[in-house]
Chain A
Amino acid sequence: MTTTVRRSSKADARDAVGAEPVAAAPRRNTPVGAGVGRSRASTIIVTGILVVVALYFLVPVYYVVIAATKTTEDLFATNGFLLAPTFSLWENLRLVFTYDGGIFVRWFLNSVLYAGVGALLATYFAAAGGYALAKYDFRGKNIVFGTVLGGVLVPGTATALPLFLLFSQMGISNTYWSVLIPSLVSPFGLFLCRIYAQASVDDSVIESGRIDGAGELRIFHTLGLRAMTPALVTVFLFQLVGIWNNFFLPLIMLADSNLYPITLGLNNWRSQVDRLPEFYQLTTGGVLVSIIPLIAAMIILQRYWRGGLTDGAVKG
C-alpha cells in the first residue's frame, strides 16, 4: 500500500512539474476575451486596478530612489516620499563606490562571477543531463531521474548546512569554490531540459546525424543544443536569478568579506547602521545602485522568460 501511494504521488509530482510546459495546446496569440467586455467602463475599472497594483510594486523602489538622495539627518527629519532640501545623491554614490577601497565594486563583480559562470555551466550540465535522460534508454535511467526529481523538492537551505561541514573538511569553505560549486547544479533545470528535449529534439534528426558519421557527443552539441535553445534560455535565467539572489549559502560559506556577493555585502553595511548612522547613506545608495541593473534586466528579460515557457508548450 505504502509503495503504491508513494509511486503514484511521485508520478503526480512529475505531472505537475511536467504538465506546465507540455500543455498540449497549440499557441495562438488571441487576446483573451477579445470582443467580450471591451466596453469603456470595464477598461477604466481594470486599468484602474492595474495602476493601484503597480503602485504597490513600485513604491519601495520609489522610496529608495528618494532615500538615496538624502543625508542621514534628512532621512529621519523629512518625509520619506519627498525630496529633502539638500540633494546629496552624488555624495552618497561617491561614498558607496569609494568606501573601504571600493569594496562595493568588488562585491558586485563577485556576484557577476558567481551568477554568470554558475548559471552558464549549470545550464550546460542540465542540458546534457536532460538530453541524455530524454533521448537514450539505459539501465538506471529511472533511478537517476527519480533521485533528481527528489532534489527539486529538497529545500536549498536544508543542504547548505551539511554542505558547509563537508566543504570545511575538504578545506574549500570560505573560497570562491564554496559558493560556485553548489551553483552549478540545477535539478529543476535538468527537469525542464528533459521535458523540452523529449518534445523538441527529433529522433530522426539524431538518426541522420549518426548516419552522417557524427559521434553521440557531437550530435548533442550541434543538433541537440540548437533544438533546445529556448529551454536553455529559461534555465539560464532561472539559475542566474537564483544565484544572484541567494543569501543563505554565501552567508554560511564565506567569512572573508572580499569574497562576498552583493547581497551579503549590503546586509553587512545595513547591520552597522545602529552603531554608525552614516551607514544609512551607504545602504540606501548601495541598494539603489545594486537594483538598477536587476530591474533593467528583469524588464528586458521577462519577454524571454515567457518565450521559454510558452515555446515548451508549443512543442509538447
Chain B
Amino acid sequence: MTAVRATPAEGRGVSSRGTGGGSTGRRSGRRGGARNAATKRAPWILLAPFLALFILTFVLPILSAVATSFTRVDRRGLFGEEGITSSFAGFGNYAQALADSGFTASIGRVLLFGIIQVPVMIVFCTVLALLLESASARWPQFFRAAYFMPYGVPGVIATILWGFLYIPGLSPVVDVATAVGIDVDFLGASTVLWSIANIVTWTYTGYNMLIIIAQLKSIPGDVYEAARVDGASSWKIAWSIQLPLIRPALVLATVFSIIGTLQLFSEPLVLQTSSPAIDSKYTPNLAAYTNAFAFNDYGVASAQAVIIALAAFVLSFAFLALVSRRSDRAEGAKS
C-alpha cells in the first residue's frame, strides 16, 4: 500500500469539492482519508480504458463463444425464412466437432507440426544467438538485422514469397533440383506441412533469437571471467553458463511458439490454391473458419474455437509445469 500520508494538496482537493466535515479535523484523519480515496479511485481510472476494451474484445467474445458452442440453431425453410429457433444443445456441438475426422486430423497435424517445428526453431535460434554473441562472429550487426528482418514480413506475404519458391514452373529451386535429377515436390500431401513449417521458421527464428540475445547480454561479464580463469572452453561456457541463464527466454519463446502453432491459419489458407493436399480443414483454425463462413454453422465453429483455446491453455501450462518441475529437481540436486 502506497502512501496514506496527508498532504496539503489533498486538503485543498477535499475542500473544493465541499465534502463538508469542517476544517477542524483536517490535520489528521480527513486528509489521510481523502488521499486514501484518491489512491483507491486512481488505479481503476487508470485501468478503465484497458479493462473496458479487454472485456469487449476478450471476455465477452469468449463468453459468447462458450454460450454459442452449447447452442443449436435450427433454421426452418431453406434459408431459415420460416423462422430460426435456438435451443440448448448440451455437448452436441462438441461431439459433432470431435466426431468430424477432418477436425481431429487437423489437431493431430498441428501437434505433429509443433513437436517438430518448435524444437527445431528453438535450437536454431539459440545456436544463432550464441554464435552471434561469440567473439568469433564477424559483422554481428549485419547478421542480426538480416535474421530479424523476416519478422517484419506478414505471414501472408511470407507465404506468397515462399509460394513462388515452391510452385513448379515458377520456382528456381525446383528447376535446379530437377536439373540435377532430384524430384522435389514442396506441395505434395506428405511435404506441404514441412513447407509450411519452413515458412514459420523463416519468419520467427530471428525474433526469438533477439529475445535470447537480450538475455545473453544481461549475463554479467565477471561470470565469464571467472569461468575463463577456471579454464572453461567456449563449449563449456555455452553449455553450463549461457544455456542455464537464458532458460527463461527459451521458456517464453517456446510457450509463444506453442500458442502460435495452434493458430496456424494464413499459411495453409494462402497455399491452398497451389497445393491440392491442403483441404478446408487442414488446421483447427481453418476448420473453424470453414464451419463458420462456408457452412454458417456457428455452433460447431464456436465449439472448435473453444477447443483450440483450451488446447493452447493445457499445452502451455503442461509445458510450464514440466520445465518448473525439472528446474525444481535441479535445484534439489544442487542443495
Contact = CB atoms under 8 A, between A and B. Distances in A.
Interface of A: 5, 8-9, 12-13, 15-17, 19-20, 23, 25-38, 42-43, 45-47, 49-50, 53-54, 56-61, 63-64, 67, 75-76, 79-81, 125-126, 128-129, 131-133, 135-138, 141, 144, 147-148, 150-151, 153-163, 165-166, 181-182, 184-185, 187, 190, 203, 206-207, 210-217, 220, 241, 244-248, 252, 262-264, 266-267, 270-271, 274, 283-284, 287, 290-291, 294-295, 297-299, 302, 305-306, 309-310, 313-314
B113 interface: no
Given A47-B136, A287-B160, 5 more contacts: A54-B146, A61-B161, A158-B312, A160-B61, A210-B5
B42 A125 contact: no
The 6 A-B residue pairs with the shortest CB-CB distance, nearest first, are A213-B9, A80-B172, A30-B221, A216-B42, A19-B248, A129-B50
Contact of A17 (B46, B164, B218, B252): B252
B280 to A, nearest CB: 14
A121 to B, nearest CB: 8
Contact of A298 (B3, B145, B263): B145
Contact of B42 (A16, A30, A36, A136): A136
Contacts of A141: 43
Interface in B21-79: 35, 38-47, 49-51, 53-54, 56-62, 64-65, 68
A232 B327 CA distance: 32
Interface string B176-215: 0000000000000000000000000010001000110111
B233 interface: yes
Contact of B224 (A32, A247, A266, A287): A32
23 contacts: A16-B255, A20-B249, A26-B220, A28-B222, A47-B138, A47-B139, A57-B202, A75-B170, A129-B49, A131-B46, A151-B58, A153-B313, A161-B61, A166-B64, A207-B3, A214-B9, A241-B151, A241-B152, A244-B154, A266-B156, A267-B156, A302-B145, A306-B210
Interface string B214-253: 1111111110100010001110011000100100110110
A48 to B, nearest CB: 10
B62 A216 contact: no
B34 to A, nearest CB: 12
Contacts of B60: 162, 166
Nearest to A159: B61
B86 to A, nearest CB: 13
B221 A28 contact: yes
Contact of B128 (A34, A53, A244): A53
A294 B152 contact: yes
A309 B1 CA distance: 28
A316 to B, nearest CB: 9
Given A155-B263, A217-B45, A181 B56 contact: yes
Contacts of A214: 9
Given A23-B215, A33-B134, A80-B175, A158 B320 contact: no
Interface string B256-298: 0001001101100010010000000000010011001100001
Contact of A138 (B44, B139, B266, B320): B44
A269 B53 CA distance: 33
A283 B160 contact: yes
A32 B135 contact: yes
A168 to B, nearest CB: 11
B148 A302 contact: yes
A27 B309 contact: no
A159 B58 contact: yes
Contacts of B302: 161-162
A32 B134 contact: yes
Nearest to B1: A137
B133 interface: yes
Contacts of A53: 128, 143, 147
B94 to A, nearest CB: 15
A25 B273 CA distance: 50
Interface residues of B, number: 130
A16 B46 contact: no
A12 B220 CA distance: 25
B157 interface: yes
B111 to A, nearest CB: 15
A9 B169 contact: no
A126 to B, nearest CB: 6
A261 to B, nearest CB: 9
B61 A166 contact: yes
B165 interface: yes
Contact of A267 (B46, B53, B150, B160): B160
Given A50-B143, A125-B50, A216-B38, A153 B259 contact: yes
Given A128-B47, A129-B46, A270-B160, A63 B68 contact: no
B56 A33 contact: no
Nearest to B38: A216
Nearest to B131: A46
B40 A154 contact: no
A89 B144 CA distance: 30
A214 B157 CA distance: 49
B156 A263 contact: yes
Contacts of A181: 53, 56-57
Given A137-B2, A220-B46, A309-B214, A31 B147 contact: no
B312 A42 contact: no
B224 A270 contact: no
B40 A47 contact: no
Contacts of B301: 161
B15 interface: no
